Structure 1
């Protein structure tokens, strides 16, 4: 027999003991809940590819935002489907469109809720791409002024934070300069700093009708095989003025999250994306998993890897579970 002086199992003997020595914790304040805004009034339609998530008109989005806040969630991220699309994505900076109207309405109705806005063009362009096009080439520098217009319009509507997700080079610096130039120095930027060209985005593209009409997004989103490049992308965004850096997707890129936490002393976010969510919901519907345990374990893995902020479609359920 071994005479074991230290027995790790002593610290697992009860729930109280396990809670006492837990190294990583999950709190409802870590969560941001995505909302999908559509034209109209009185609209609350479940998204078939994202069970439990809804297309919401502005009035219904306000109700959900209030519910989220009452559950302890402190932030929502706004996505939307416009009333019109064109090649430049000009509805993306139209103050009369659903996204800007939802930002304004939520700010007025739930003033203490943090409103984050997604800054991109893919949902608003007729091509489904995140930038200007020339002969099927996505133009980087020509896209930057358009993204700046989007970000400024969101700030004008009342967004606390803008989140550029397009992956154009230099967009964080351009947006920071544009916001500052018109007096929005306190509007912060959460950059999709390392956003990979992932197969996990399918349900989201269905939800916002943003699938590319030709080709793919591999010329601007990152190659899933690259780790060092992610660190370069993150560093560039920090230098350009990002306040929070994000890694997307989350689950398959926890090595990137961990390395970013080691290298950069910055607030770090992850996006628990639509494909990750849909797989869990599908498995749960078939009785293959314990949904609550699996989701909470997954969230803990994000926190353990080093993320402070988690953008997730599970946020409302998590908030209820943590309250129980």
Structure 2
């Protein structure tokens, strides 16, 4: 609409005039409390080992892991997600259940370091511990046995709970995994341990750098249990099943290629929704920034804002600590 030929009377640009005004009317915010930092801990090392495909990310020793967790708590992050890398693997992933296994020791280390100042989460899956690299126990003909794997997950959940974890993250995409884990935790009197369910986890090309990060032994792919990237309705169905089975938070992974799924899941469930800003997404931005093709800090913050805008309440991201520093300095 115009007035006496003097131009439009409705001018949305008025609310973009200054930084303070833009900040005041911003519809979406990213806060440190909404960010979770994934951390890798490797058995048998004394110094951090760089991950070449994820610049700035390392495999920690037990001592440096504690320091990283303490820093995360000081920065006001929502939590850390722990992944263990054992020295020895076997067909059943027995190191995942062993109380002296690297992941269970790391849980106790970190809980002892940060107490209640940080939510300590742990990956509940066998893939880092199996010599075949799959997320479950295999049949004689090499297929992942869903129900035998569930029994292993129940043991793993109890082991992580005994180690002191606050929240377990079942990421294997086995049918019925949340219900079995909830029952196992409750039967062991760990009713306060919560479940972050990897509900809509897709068989994605963006997981590549993560394979290096955990020294994956995988041959082939995980398409018989992770979701097909063409399917969004299925992602919502998986999330609803996990809520029915007792999930406290549901997650979509990866994030950027699945923003539509994040929104659909957010609209469908009545529990918090998380999204995992995965290794390949991280590596792409880092590579482009290193080549001078994009401005790194704004690109990272824009990425995290997009994931929040799509509906994620919580974001797992390798930029969590760095982003928290930026967000703290701009507050």
- The TM-score bracket by the shorter chain reads over 0.9
Q: 1:194 aligns with which of 200, 209, 228?
A: 200
Whether 1:10 aligns to 2:14 is yes
The separation in 1 between residues aligned to 2:294 and 2:91, in whole angstroms, is 44
Could you tell me which runs of 5 or more consecutive residues in structure 2 were left unpaired when the two chains were aligned.
none
What is the match of residue 106 of structure 1? 110
**Aligned residue number for residue 30 of structure 1:** 34
Give runs of aligned pairs for residues 70-149 of structure 1, distance below 5 A.
Answer: 70-111=74-115, 112-134=117-139, 135-149=141-155
- 1:40 Cα offset (Å): 2.7
1:276 pairs with one of 278, 281, 296: 281
The CA distance in 2 between the partners of 1:19 and 1:193, in whole Å, is 33
2:55 aligned to which of 43, 46, 51? 51
State the Cα deviation string for residues 16-56 of structure 1 (Å, max 9, x = none).
11111111111011100011001135321211111101111
Residue 72 of structure 1 aligns to a residue whose secondary structure is coil
With normalisation by structure 2, the TM-score equals 0.95
In the alignment, does 2:162 pair up with 1:156?
yes
Task: Give the ranges of 4+ consecutive aligned residues of structure 1 lying more than 6 Å apart after TM superposition.
Answer: none
Distance in 2, matches of 1:41 and 1:297, equals: 36
Counterpart among 267, 270, 274 of residue 272 in structure 2: 267
Question: SS where residue 70 of structure 2 aligns?
Answer: helix
Counterpart of 1:237 in 2: which secondary structure?
helix
* Alignment of 1:226 onto 2:234: no
Superposition deviation, residue 322 in structure 1: 1.1
SS at 2:150's partner residue? helix
Partner of 1:67: 71
Q: Distance in 1 between matches of 2:244 and 2:74?
A: 36
State the shift of 1:246 in Å.
0.1
Q: Pick from 167, 173, 177: which aligns with 1:171?
A: 177
TM-score w.r.t. length of structure 1: 0.98
RMSD: 1.1
Contact 2:123 2:170 in 1 (8 A): yes
Matched length: 323
1:252 matched to which residue of 2? 257
